[in-house]
Amino acid sequence: MAEVAQQSEKTSAFTLRFADNGIAWLEMDVPGEKMNTLQASFDEEVSEVLDALESRKD
């Protein structure tokens, strides 16, 4: 599975990966939180994920 962006220190709550067959996997893991909840502050991160999905040609 190819990962869109690798980070040595996780700062984003979202990790977008693509399988060889083109299926996208979006993982949500909020750094420093015991429970993953959507937050209004994620709006920019979600926009980046959607842009990455939209830019795919497959």
Per-domain boundaries in the chain: 2-55
Give pLDDT tens digits for 7-44.
445 678 999 998 999 899 999 999 889 999 989 989 99
Cβ contact 52:16 at 8 Å: yes
Whether the predicted pLDDT of 1 surpasses 80: no
Name the strands in the sheet holding 2-3, side by side, starting at the edge strand that comes first in the sequence.
2-3, 14-18, 24-28
Identify the CA nearest to 5 among candidates 58, 48, 57.
48
pLDDT of the residue at 56: 87
